[in-house]
Amino acid sequence: MTDAAAEEQVPTSRTAPPERLSWDSGMRRFVVLWLPLVCFVFILLFPFYWMTVTAFKPDAELYDFQTHNPFWISSPTLAHIHKLLFETAYPSWLLTTMGVAVGATFLSLFASTLAAYAIQRLRFTGSQYVGLAIYLAYLVPPSILFIPLATIIVQLGLFDSPLALILVYPTFLVPFCTWLLIGYFKSIPFELEECALIDGATRLQILRQITLPLAVPGLISAGIFSFTLSWNEFIYALAFIQSSENKTVPVAILTELITGDVYQWGALMAGALLGSLPVAIFYSFFVDYYVSSLTGAVKE
């Protein structure tokens, strides 16, 4: 028997049937990719499903798990949403939260844009260390800044005012937004600004007409971050706002819908569900810009 014939009779991994190779590849892909992805999505979405089910479930089903399925609704009702909208000040809380989030986001983006452009483009001595110091300020826990900020708010006469939250929230929004925009401005070719400087443009004209239009995805990404954190912030809103009509949604649904040890779960979940919709809608409109800001800006 020749060597060639012997080699043909010896089974190797390269002679495995194509069906088996395809099955192994498909199973490996399912175990490595799809199974963890499904578990991850389930863990993320299940709280929203439970919140929605609880918001539309009547009290008879809500407190009787032995008779009714806890994961499904037999007789949907709008009683909890009606109570939330017409028997509480929830519309006022929602408007206050929206105003605070928009105001804090605008103020933070304005300050962060100027700071990031100055650090990245002006190239002064120690600019890198200034950028690092600004980002380190973001790592300071809000509970540590609570006492000095409370003193300042009281001295300015802004206690129990939504304006206090608009001025306080940039303390933790500006550092991260500045760090984010520094990285985005770095990806914009500097030659574009050099050409504008040669043509006689000022720094403000360059920022307004060249840099900012190219940095729109980065600005939207920072805006989504600022709006989301302002909308969901709890500690400062709980400490600086006392009257019921000036409370934000995260604080109001927790303090106004719990009487003693009685939790109004239907109204609580309805408030959380309606309170999460503006953020989801806001994000859905700008998700493409948000993704593009993570992949880079203008290539040279």
Could you tell me if residue 13 is inside a domain? no
Q: Which long-range contacts (CB under 8 A, 24 or more apart) does 80-86 make?
A: 80/55, 80/56, 80/266, 80/267, 80/269, 80/270, 81/55, 81/56, 81/270, 81/274, 83/266, 83/267, 83/270, 84/267, 84/270, 84/271, 84/274
Tell me the pairing of strands 262-263 and 258-259: antiparallel
Q: Which two tokens stand for residue 292?
A: 């593009």
Q: What is the CATH number of the domain that holds 87?
A: 1.10.3720.10
Could you tell me if residue 71 is inside a domain? no
Could you tell me if residue 300 is inside a domain? no
DSSP for 97-134 reads HHHHHHHHHHHHHHHHHHHHHHHHHS--TTHHHHHHHH
Angle between helices 90-121 and 170-186 (to 10 degrees): 40
Residues 129 and 198 placed together within one structural domain of the fold: yes
Cβ atoms of 179 and 138 within 8 Å: the answer is yes
Regions of the chain short of the pLDDT cut 70:
1-24, 289-300
Residues 134 and 38 placed together within one structural domain of the fold: no
Question: Where in the sequence is the domain holding 40, given as residue range(s)?
Answer: 20-55
C-alpha 11/C-alpha 20 separation (Å) is 15
Could you tell me if residue 93 is inside a domain? yes
Residues 250 and 124 placed together within one structural domain of the fold: yes
Residues 85 and 49 placed together within one structural domain of the fold: no
Structural domain tally of the chain?
2
What is the distance of C-alpha 179 from the center of its chain?
Answer: 16
**What is the DSSP-derived secondary structure letter of residue 246?**
G
CA neighbours within 13 Å on the CB side: how many for 233?
33
- pLDDT in the model for residue 299: 46
Could you tell me if residue 173 is inside a domain? yes
Sequence-ordered strand ranges (E) for the chain = 258-259, 262-263
Q: 260 — alpha (psi -120 to 50), left (phi > 0) or beta?
A: left
Residues 24 and 150 placed together within one structural domain of the fold: no
- pLDDT in the model for residue 257: 85
Residues 98 and 178 placed together within one structural domain of the fold: yes
Q: Which two tokens stand for residue 137?
A: 């300020």
C-alpha 101/C-alpha 278 separation (Å) is 11
pTM over 0.85: no
Could you tell me if residue 117 is inside a domain? yes
- pLDDT in the model for residue 13: 47
